[in-house]
């Protein structure tokens, strides 16, 4: 990829990597358009920017597309709320300030670090992820879906394109270490916050931070292994990262569009105000269940194969390098396990609190099934999830040209996880059990006292039951908050990067503003004195310099 300048015209070229990411983008765009964004020109400019960034063959076109994407998405976030949009645009400017010099620098470590800073901030890699749980939930659901599923992928594409292809010959093993560290921190913080967050869309955005972290860990392991000449681990890491990107690009937009439908129907997305939606919105509930299965990385779901591969890659990486690297990757395994457990918890909590149980409010009780368009979009995404979930082997074969492009020497071992026979076996067992129950089970019905699902008896003045007798989303998260959250999150449950990075920056900014304001308000005599002092200091420096 050459630099390219405005006078030279733009160059577009599609190779296997670009095609893969465009393929990830396409179903989301269709679903987002179906979810009500069809008539918004800004939405299509946003899509165009992403497409341009993915198809670019020179750095100038890439940056142009990337910034077009940022600007259009800022306008779309602005439709939701002003504060997150301001935070978001600040982050976008920071990312541009890192990326623009990076593409003009000679290939080397500084260029790579700037790329990771700029694109990583855009993708939501820790510790620059604090904007994501605020900005992604703000716009309409179709845009949230595309931002969470598509835009972070474009940023990751920039990291992949530069880390593996453009700067590939200069790659050092520690580059991968940087990505792994940032990714591991994202996994931990994202999963933990997803488990504790009580706002549905914010919780989904936190889960996006976690999945971006997983992809970055895979990429980092592959980059390190490639630089060290470890063919198997490089192949496994790339397989894991790319498969995770494909899967996440399907189920996360699905969940976001579903959250938009919930908001449309109930009027809120706060989990503490929902409940029992599966009864009122059965189709939406089913589709959200499919998405939650993907998010939880359960076996037979679309999210499991990437995690499986990632564990294999981490185990492979733990067997190479010095003692520090071995200990680090072993710790990474434990951390990935914790992240996966928290992700399951978050998915179960989300579905259980919002869609099962009893309605917690009148609005939730009066919910109606969502509109046709968004449901069709969600169904499309869910249908695409099925082959990803059941036939990951075929998908990996399709990914092999991309992996050959990124790491030509990487070995691509076949996947040791076959969900289709597994699903067949499970189905066989279920049919057999049903048959045995039917043949030998107890006939007739039996009267037993109602267990009532663990609820207390509703008081007569509350027809839907007392919400307080049902555990809330906050209540489900509380044990985790006490066990892990206190140690990892900032006081009050705030995001650590917000408390330790954003807040000091804000204080610094305030101090700078005060100084500037004092300078601006200076009187004539103070200004004279200032210039005079500067002159004397200059003269003194000159005299001392000459004399010495």
- Output 448 or 544, the one with its CB closest to other proteins: 544
- Output 93 or 531, the one with its CB closest to other proteins: 531
Q: What b-and-e string marks burial along 217-226, b requiring 16 or more CB atoms within 10 Å of the CB?
A: bbbbbbbbbb
Candidate residues 322, 421, 454, 547; the one interacting with other proteins per rule CB under 8 A: 547
**Inter-residue contact 195 to 483 (CB < 8 Å):** no
**Inter-residue contact 259 to 204 (CB < 8 Å):** yes
CA angle 230, 236, 237 (to 5 degrees): 85
Nearest distance in Å: CB 541, other proteins: 9
**What is the 8-class DSSP label of residue 107?**
S
Does 540 interact with other proteins (rule: CB under 8 A)? Answer: yes
Nearest distance in Å: CB 539, other proteins: 5
Does 394 interact with other proteins (rule: CB under 8 A)? Answer: no
Nearest distance in Å: CB 520, other proteins: 8
- Output 14 or 542, the one with its CB closest to other proteins: 542
Distance (Å, whole) CA 462 – CA 526? 70
**Inter-residue contact 180 to 149 (CB < 8 Å):** no
Q: Footprint of other proteins on residues 500-529 (CB under 8 A)?
A: 520-521, 523-525, 528-529
Does 534 interact with other proteins (rule: CB under 8 A)? Answer: no
- Output 372 or 520, the one with its CB closest to other proteins: 520
Nearest distance in Å: CB 192, other proteins: 47
Closest CA to 273 of 365, 202, 361, 201: 361
Q: Footprint of other proteins on residues 254-293 (CB under 8 A)?
A: none
Nearest distance in Å: CB 351, other proteins: 56
Distance (Å, whole) CA 4 – CA 7? 8
**Inter-residue contact 251 to 294 (CB < 8 Å):** yes
Please spell the DSSP secondary structure of 245-293, one letter per residue: HHHHHHHHHHHHHHHHHHHHHHS--BGGG---HHHH-HHHHHHHHHHHH
Distance (Å, whole) CA 216 – CA 180? 6
Nearest distance in Å: CB 86, other proteins: 25
- Output 362 or 539, the one with its CB closest to other proteins: 539
Nearest distance in Å: CB 538, other proteins: 9
Closest CA to 346 of 282, 274, 271, 277: 271
- Output 8 or 526, the one with its CB closest to other proteins: 526
Looking at the chain, the number of H-run helices and the number of E-run strands are 24, 0
| Cis check: omega of the bond before 30, within 30 degrees of 0 | no
CA angle 291, 295, 296 (to 5 degrees): 115
Does 544 interact with other proteins (rule: CB under 8 A)? Answer: yes
- Output 457 or 520, the one with its CB closest to other proteins: 520
Which window, 147-155, 316-324, 352-360, 530-538, contacts other proteins (CB under 8 A)? 530-538
Q: Footprint of other proteins on residues 356-385 (CB under 8 A)?
A: none
CA separation, residue 417 to residues 153, 214, 242, 310, 485 (Å): 26, 19, 17, 13, 34
**Inter-residue contact 218 to 238 (CB < 8 Å):** yes
Which window, 80-88, 115-123, 483-491, 536-544, contacts other proteins (CB under 8 A)? 536-544
- Output 300 or 535, the one with its CB closest to other proteins: 535
Query: How many binding residues for other proteins (CB under 8 A)?
Result: 17
- Output 366 or 534, the one with its CB closest to other proteins: 534
Does 536 interact with other proteins (rule: CB under 8 A)? Answer: yes
Distance (Å, whole) CA 344 – CA 474? 16
Tokens of 325: 């690297």
Candidate residues 82, 519, 532, 534; the one interacting with other proteins per rule CB under 8 A: 532
- Cα 499 from chain centre: 20
- Output 386 or 539, the one with its CB closest to other proteins: 539
Nearest distance in Å: CB 530, other proteins: 9
- Output 486 or 514, the one with its CB closest to other proteins: 514
Nearest distance in Å: CB 513, other proteins: 14
Distance (Å, whole) CA 45 – CA 47? 5
Nearest distance in Å: CB 514, other proteins: 14
Nearest distance in Å: CB 519, other proteins: 13
Binding site for other proteins (CB under 8 A): 520-521, 523-525, 528-529, 532, 535-536, 539-540, 542-544, 546-547
């Amino acid at each position: 990829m050459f630099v390219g300048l405005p006078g030279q015209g733009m160059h577009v070229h599609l190779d296997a990597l670009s095609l893969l990411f465009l393929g990830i983008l396409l179903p989301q765009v269709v679903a987002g358009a179906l979810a009500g964004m069809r008539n918004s020109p800004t939405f299509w400019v946003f899509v165009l920017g992403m497409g341009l960034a993915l198809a670019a063959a020179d750095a100038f076109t890439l940056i142009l597309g990337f910034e077009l994407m940022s600007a259009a998405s800022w306008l779309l976030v602005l439709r939701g709320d002003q504060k997150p949009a301001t935070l978001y645009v600040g982050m976008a400017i920071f990312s541009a300030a890192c990326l623009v010099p990076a593409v003009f620098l000679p290939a080397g470590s500084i260029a790579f670090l700037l790329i990771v800073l700029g694109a990583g901030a855009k993708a939501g890699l820790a510790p620059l992820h604090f904007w994501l749980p605020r900005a992604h939930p703000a716009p309409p659901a179709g845009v949230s879906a595309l931002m969470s599923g598509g835009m972070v992928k474009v940023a990751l594409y920039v990291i992949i394109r530069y880390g593996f292809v453009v700067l590939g010959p200069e790659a050092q093993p520690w580059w991968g270490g940087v990505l792994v560290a940032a990714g591991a921190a994202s996994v931990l913080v994202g999963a933990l916050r997803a488990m504790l967050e009580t706002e549905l869309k914010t919780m989904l955005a936190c889960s996006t931070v976690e999945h971006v972290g997983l992809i970055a860990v895979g990429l980092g392991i592959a980059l390190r292994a490639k630089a060290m000449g470890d063919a198997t681990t490089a192949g496994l890491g790339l397989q894991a990262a790319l498969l995770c990107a494909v899967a996440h690009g399907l189920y996360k937009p699905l969940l976001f569009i579903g959250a938009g439908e919930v908001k449309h129907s109930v009027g809120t997305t706060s989990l503490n105000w929902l409940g029992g939606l599966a009864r009122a919105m059965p189709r939406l509930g089913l589709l959200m269940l499919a998405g939650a299965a993907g998010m939880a990385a359960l076996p037979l779901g679309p999210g499991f194969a990437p995690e499986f591969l990632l564990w294999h890659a981490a185990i492979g990486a733990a067997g190479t390098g010095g003692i520090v690297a071995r200990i680090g990757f072993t710790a990474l395994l434990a951390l990935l396990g914790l992240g996966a457990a928290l992700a399951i918890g978050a998915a179960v909590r989300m579905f259980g609190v919002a869609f099962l149980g009893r309605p917690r409010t009148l609005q939730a009780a009066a919910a109606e099934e969502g509109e046709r368009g968004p449901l069709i979009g969600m169904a499309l995404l869910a249908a695409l999830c099925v082959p990803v979930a059941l036939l990951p082997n075929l998908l990996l074969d399709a990914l092999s040209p991309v992996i050959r492009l990124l790491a030509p020497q990487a070995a691509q071992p076949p996947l040791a996880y076959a969900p289709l026979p597994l699903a067949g076996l499970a189905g066989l067992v279920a049919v057999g059990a049903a048959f045995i129950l039917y043949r030998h089970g107890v006939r007739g019905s039996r009267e037993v006292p109602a267990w009532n699902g663990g609820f207390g008896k509703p008081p007569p003045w509350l027809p839907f039951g007392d919400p307080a007798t049902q555990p809330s989303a906050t209540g489900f998260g509380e044990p985790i908050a006490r066990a892990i959250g206190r140690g990892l999150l900032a006081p009050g449950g705030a995001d650590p990067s917000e408390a330790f990075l954003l807040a000091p920056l804000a204080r610094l900014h305030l101090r700078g503003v005060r100084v500037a304001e004092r300078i601006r308000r200076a009187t004539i005599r103070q200004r004279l004195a200032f210039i005079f002092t500067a002159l004397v200091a200059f003269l003194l420096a000159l005299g001392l310099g000459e004399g010495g």
